[in-house]
Structure 1
Amino acid sequence: MNSGIPFLNIPATPDGAGVSEVTPAEGLRAVLDNLDALVYVSDFETHELLYMNAYGRRIWGSIDGKKCWEVLQNNASPCDFCTNHLLIDSEGSPSAPHIWEFQNRLDKRWYQCRDQAIPWLDGRLVRLEIATDITERKEMELALKEAHEKARAAALQDDLTGLHNRRAFFELGNQLLKQSRRNGSPLAIIMFDLDHFKQINDNHGHEAGDEVLRHIGRVLETNVREADIAARIGGEEFAILLADADAIQASEMAERLLSLMRKTPVRYQDVCIRPTASFGISALRPEEINLENLLARADNAMYESKALGRGRVRTKP
């Protein structure tokens, strides 16, 4: 078996007793070929593969003087993620090993790679890589990360409507407020509370009330921009934070939402429910640095709407 490295191809020398003496080169080859990891050496400039251990040859086949990117990635040109430039210093001398994790594009397995530039027997610089398959561990890590992300998403989502919940509204809203302050862009808020919601629950049951809340959630998801933040912040209370919008634009959206509520009744069993809401609008002031003041003014405007007969929009700039 040809290893591809001259010092690993030295034949065994019989001793006087007729027993083959194992040379250091053969011992090293045996060690490398029994490693449960890929070991390969390639020319630093030409990328020609000079050596690959048995583990690598079982997976990627014979090297036959091919380039590393031909064998390992089945590419037609050098890999765009090649780490060679990280393995030498500004003077072109070998630097510290580079350790990284990578999913092979050919076999889709995950590897932890230890790459290092070393001098070869003839003085040229070569790349030595030891790559250990970490697919099982990586898949567990990715699954755990996905589970954490889903758990966090669930913690920030209102189960009934699918909108953001109060916690998410303040987390995301404060980020949006900081961005607005940094860019000098306007920011407005819409708050609304469903009118006579208790009567819906009392007259038709809580399931009917839940269906109304789900309907409002769908209305908001369909009509609110992706850049805005829509949330259910209380029982039947909702808020929308509008990026790059002033009080006039927020009022126009509120009127549109109120019109949609009136035009799209909720059908629950044999009942037709036509929900309305009282809206309050406010816009960010130059001196404001937190979301609470903006929300409080919109809340006051919303209660003015209720006091004036409900089903309307009021603004407190």
Structure 2
Amino acid sequence: MSSGIPLINITDAAAGADSSKATPVEGLRAVLDNLDALVYVSDFETHELLYMNAYGHKIWGSFEGRKCWEVLQDNDSPCDFCTNHLLIDSEGAPSPPYVWEFQNTLDKHWYQCRDQAIPWTDGRLVRLEIATDITDRKEMELALQEAHEKARAAALEDDLTGLHNRRAFFELGNQLLKQSRRNRSALAIIMFDLDHFKQINDNHGHEAGDEVLRQIGQILASKVREADIAARIGGEEFAILLSEADVADASELAERLLGLMRETPVRFREAGILATASFGVSALRTEEQNLETLLARADEAMYESKALGRSRVRIKA
């Protein structure tokens, strides 16, 4: 809509016009009033509403003598998201139109807005906005985005224990490793494998084995910090990355987890199943650049635990 259109006279009939014929102003008003979108004009400095089409009247009511933020947002002061500063250049001259999307705080609908600063017929600068309701489209977009986020979360979560899975462990773990390198902070790892897990499945059934894994997941979730990464990385194999922790911190946590396993039999039907684990602990070395070498060293320590009789913690610094 060009600045030459006499919008200020939209609501007035042209003086002396032949009442039997529609004037250009009346024709323009008919066009704007039949748009399925809000069209309004407000003073650039005072924010007083100068014009609003029928669509706006229907939703927001009377505007005469009121500010745009009073009518459209039911605010008592200018909106903190006002785009006026984006509609003019450094010298105060009109810039190209600015298109954006937002959710109206009053009616909760989503709108795509086309804002532009234009000269008014009396020479002052005004804001022209055309706002189209895109609520249906936006809600579909948001629902799709939520579905994608849920799908991604599901792809990174172990279904049985609710912990991170192997993919998430390496994806998030590499980020934690980079952060540790950047901040020159400590990073430690715990790996453990449940002892004689095949016997649990053979003696009590796979449902019992699943219940053991679920309880181990609950123990881990309750004892690790939000900044740490706990994951089930194999059948009965688990790993924990501890941010800003050294080998002593990791060893202490491993001993605590082992103690909880020894003290907490898993109740399954009539059976009380005692599950223990063999732990391996290590910490990031100065020269190490990837997660795989850290994991491999903890894995070595874990197998030393198994070789020494299981149900214990070994450290490989």
- When normalised by structure 2's length, the TM-score is 0.96
- Letter of the structure 1 residue corresponding to residue 73 of structure 2: Q
Q: Tell me what 2:8 maps to.
A: 5
- Letter of the structure 2 residue corresponding to residue 183 of structure 1: N
Matches of 1:88 and 1:11, distance apart in 2: 31
1:168 to 2:140 alignment: no
Aligned length in residues:
312
Q: Tell me what 1:268 maps to.
A: 268
Matches within 5 A, 1:84-233: 84-233=84-233
SS in 2 for 1:280: strand
Cα shift at 1:5: 3.0
Q: Tell me what 1:30 maps to.
A: 30
Matches of 1:205 and 1:221, distance apart in 2: 25
User: Retained in 1: the 8 A contact 2:11–2:29?
Assistant: yes
* Identity fraction in percent: 80
Q: CA RMSD in A?
A: 1.3
User: Retained in 2: the 8 A contact 1:63–1:71?
Assistant: yes
- Deviations 1:209-254 (CA, angstroms, capped at 9, x unpaired): 0000000000011111000000000000000000000000000000
Matches within 5 A, 1:258-297: 258-297=258-297
1:55 to 2:58 alignment: no
- Letter of the structure 1 residue corresponding to residue 111 of structure 2: Y
- Letter of the structure 1 residue corresponding to residue 299 of structure 2: D
- Deviations 1:245-287 (CA, angstroms, capped at 9, x unpaired): 0000000000000011111110000000111000000100111
Cα shift at 1:64: 1.5
Q: Tell me what 1:46 maps to.
A: 46
Cα shift at 1:6: 2.8
SS in 2 for 1:272: strand
Matches of 2:115 and 2:181, distance apart in 1: 46
User: Retained in 2: the 8 A contact 1:111–1:133?
Assistant: yes
User: Retained in 2: the 8 A contact 1:70–1:76?
Assistant: yes
SS in 1 for 2:288: coil
- Letter of the structure 2 residue corresponding to residue 196 of structure 1: H
- Deviations 1:181-208 (CA, angstroms, capped at 9, x unpaired): 0000000000000000000000000000
Cα shift at 1:129: 0.3
Q: Tell me what 1:76 maps to.
A: 76
Q: Tell me what 1:241 maps to.
A: 241
Gaps of 5+ in 2: 1-6
Matches of 2:243 and 2:256, distance apart in 1: 17
Residues 170, 235 of structure 1: alpha-carbon distance in 2 compared, 3 angstrom cutoff = same
Matches of 2:44 and 2:25, distance apart in 1: 23
SS in 1 for 2:275: coil
Report runs of 4+ in structure 1 exceeding 2 Å deviation: 4-8, 11-15
User: Retained in 1: the 8 A contact 2:43–2:50?
Assistant: yes
User: Retained in 2: the 8 A contact 1:12–1:21?
Assistant: no
- Letter of the structure 1 residue corresponding to residue 127 of structure 2: R
- Deviations 1:270-314 (CA, angstroms, capped at 9, x unpaired): 000111000000100111111000000000000000000100001
User: Retained in 1: the 8 A contact 2:281–2:302?
Assistant: yes
Matches of 1:285 and 1:307, distance apart in 2: 25
- When normalised by structure 1's length, the TM-score is 0.96
Matches of 1:165 and 1:207, distance apart in 2: 20
User: Retained in 1: the 8 A contact 2:8–2:121?
Assistant: no
User: Retained in 2: the 8 A contact 1:232–1:239?
Assistant: yes
User: Retained in 1: the 8 A contact 2:9–2:25?
Assistant: no
SS in 2 for 1:20: coil
Matches of 1:38 and 1:6, distance apart in 2: 18
Cα shift at 1:10: 1.8
Residues 32, 122 of structure 1: alpha-carbon distance in 2 compared, 3 angstrom cutoff = same
Matches of 1:14 and 1:42, distance apart in 2: 27
- Letter of the structure 1 residue corresponding to residue 279 of structure 2: F
- Deviations 1:104-143 (CA, angstroms, capped at 9, x unpaired): 0000000000000000011110000000000000000000
User: Retained in 1: the 8 A contact 2:10–2:28?
Assistant: no
SS in 1 for 2:280: strand
SS in 2 for 1:294: helix
- Letter of the structure 1 residue corresponding to residue 90 of structure 2: S
Gaps of 5+ in 1: none
